[in-house]
Amino acid sequence: MTTKQKTLVGGVSILGVAGIICKIVGVLYRIPLAHLIGPEGMGVYHKVYPAYNLLLTISSAGLPVAISRMVAHYVTVEDPNNARRIFKMAMRMLLALGLLTTLLMLLFSGQLAAWQGTAETKAGYMAIAPSLFFVCVMSAYRGFLQGQRNMVPTAVSQLIEQIGRVFIALPLAYLGMRRGGVALGAAGALLGSTTAEGAALLFMLFRHRKADRALSLIAQQQGAKPLENGTIARRLIYVAIPITLGACIVPLAGFIDSIMLTQLMEQAGMPAEDALIRYGAYAGPVLTLINVPTALAMAMSTNLVPDIASGLARGEKEYVAKEAGVGLRMAAVVGFPCSVGMSLLAQPILYLCYRGSYTAMQLDVAAELLQISSLTIVLFTMVQATSGILQGAGKQRIPMYTLVIGVALKIALNYTLVRIPGVDIHGAPWASLLCYTASMIPNLFFVTKYTGYRFNAMDVVLKPLLCAAVMGGLVFALWRFGFGDPGHLNGFRLTAGILLCVLLGAAVYVLLALKTGAVSKEDLPGKIRRFIK
């Protein structure tokens, strides 16, 4: 394995571990939050996030990737001065976008609540609106540092965001519930998120100064022509717009879900309160748990963009093809066991996390949703990996187009299935499966076309799938015959059973992956390789 490849794996490890910790903290944070504001309050809380995520994606998704890619290029060719110019111009653009989106959410908070048919969300929109400005500014710093292959500050800032939510949002949610019920309880939790984002931004300001000093140590290439501001702006926009549009597709689908799903269930004869609770269970516990393993996919995509861009800047075609293959293999090795394991343990995990916040019937419905939704993990992981490769290769329009197709199919299937009595909310995860499958297949084709990588079904699909299947069989047998119905287990046995299944499953999967060659020792970080020896 080359030094650069070690950097890729190391970067994924740093962001991936931090991302998983953040997602786990996010799951744990929602447990006491659900106790504080109840199922209906969680429905209100999760109705705010789709519109927020959409505006956040519009303002801050494409430019950080563009910064990362362009900075990586100029650092590789030893031109730190132009790398700094790119950052400064991008910062101006993100400041303006952050301010604009914050004002839009504040001004249209009432209209957004009316569209969703849930008036209680207005206070939540106003509470979380300043977070858009904080995240936009912070994303400029993250893109600049990621372009230098420095992933640690991003990881730490993500941890600050999540830990801040626990210590700030929960007290504010409690105070909101006491003063104004469900609406202010959810708004208090969202205001805590805004405060946590502000704290993370202060940390990134500090780390940027240190990174800028490190950039000064790179010898400036003689004769390098300074880039004009207009040229930088045009290049940033050229790269960022298709990435932003592509990144907006999934949040847009989530926003449409927040409008469609409850209304479609009501059209099928379900009472409005029950529809809101079912939507809250799907958008809350289910999707929150799904997002835990997908943190690795996000880390992989973030690392692949500057990695592929650097390889192309050096003209190393073989390196680019090799790194594309590593990225796809890592996506499959992570995605398959997470999909299988979470699907099998859906019911016990939900009972452990949310018993007391939801009724047994609601938890059983959520478990059925999670069993299906878990299968999207491997698809999402592959979509993220292929998108990162294509964005690094300068083909950022392709993931945008494939996601448009996928989301269009998702909306059509939602509209068809959710209106059917007895199917209702269960149609949503099946629609997501179709969405990511339709995006993944053409992405894989274009990765092979533009990177020179020859797709290897044995390494990318069959080996990790076989290992995950064996692991799944053992986990299923252990839970079925060793523990049984989670509704009849106390907290200690439930926790012990889940931990035993996860640890056994992980150990079996790792051993099988190493034995079959799904993962080679060269794929592992140096410290782990030395430990194995």
Confidence (pTM)? 0.69
Residues 47, 44: Cα–Cα separation, whole Å: 5
In a domain, 521, yes or no: no
Domain limits at 138? 3-455
Any domain includes 477? no
Distance CA 312, CA 291 (A): 31
Return phi, psi of residue 352, to 5°.
-65, -45
Give the rounded distance of the alpha carbon of 308 from its chain centre: 21
Q: 482: which 2 tokens? A: 């060793």
Task: Quote the tokens at residue 316.
Answer: 């190393």
Neighbours of 520 (CB within 10 A): 12
146 falls within a domain: yes
Instruction: Give the orientation angle of helix 360-373 with respect to helix 317-344, to 10 degrees.
Output: 150
Cα–Cα distance for residue pair 281/287, rounded to 1 Å: 9
Domain assignment present for 104: yes
d(CA 464, CA 509): 9
In a domain, 503, yes or no: no
Q: Which residues of 260-293 are buried (b: 16+ CB within 10 A; e: fewer)?
A: bbbbbbbeeebeeeebbbbbbbbbbbbbbbbbbb
Exposed (0-12), middle (13-18) or buried (19+): which is 224, by Cβ within 10 Å?
middle
Which residue is associated with the tokens 């300001």?
205
* CA 501 – CA 446 distance, rounded (Å): 38
* 388 domain-assigned: yes
* CA distance linking residue 442 with residue 394, whole number of Å: 16
| Cα–Cα dist 508/144, whole Å | 39
Residue type at position 131? S
Run of H or E residues at 18: helix 3-60
Residue 225: DSSP 8-state:
P
pLDDT digits (tens, 9 = 90+) for 402-460: 988 988 898 888 888 888 887 888 888 899 899 889 999 999 999 999 988 888 899 88
> d(Cα 71, Cα 392) in Å, to the nearest integer?
12
Q: Which of 405, 465, 464 is nearest to 435 (CA)?
A: 405
Please report whether residue 480 resides in a domain. Answer: no
**b/e map 41-55, b = 16+ CB within 10 Å:** bbbbbbbbbbbbbbb
- The answer to whether residue 514 is domain-embedded is no
Question: Per the structure, how many domains does the chain have?
Answer: 1
Token digits of residue 324: 């594309």
Q: Return the number of other C-beta atoms located less than 10 Å from residue 70's C-beta.
A: 26
pLDDT in tens, the chain (533 residues): 344 444 444 445 566 566 667 767 777 777 788 888 887 788 788 788 777 877 777 777 778 878 888 888 888 877 878 888 888 898 999 999 899 989 999 998 888 888 877 788 888 899 999 999 998 999 888 888 877 777 788 888 888 888 888 888 889 988 988 887 878 888 898 998 899 999 999 998 888 877 677 667 676 777 678 888 888 888 888 878 877 776 676 677 777 777 788 888 888 788 877 887 788 788 778 887 887 777 666 666 666 767 787 788 788 888 888 888 888 888 898 899 999 999 999 999 998 888 877 788 888 888 999 999 999 999 988 988 898 888 888 887 898 889 889 888 988 888 888 888 878 888 888 998 998 899 999 999 999 999 888 888 998 899 999 999 999 999 999 998 888 888 788 878 888 999 999 999 999 998 999 888 887 766 655 555 555 55
Please report which residue ranges of 108-169 form alpha helices under DSSP H.
Answer: 109-116, 121-147, 152-164
CA–CA gap between residue 489 and residue 485 (Å, rounded): 7
Q: Which two tokens stand for residue 298?
A: 């996000």
Give the pair of three-digit tokens for residue 478.
């252990």
Q: Is 492 buried (19+), middle (13-18) or exposed (0-12) by CB count in 10 A? A: exposed
Query: Which letter does DSSP use for residue 355 in this model?
Result: B
In the three-class reduction of DSSP (H, G, I as helix; E, B as strand; rest coil), residue 358 is classed as strand
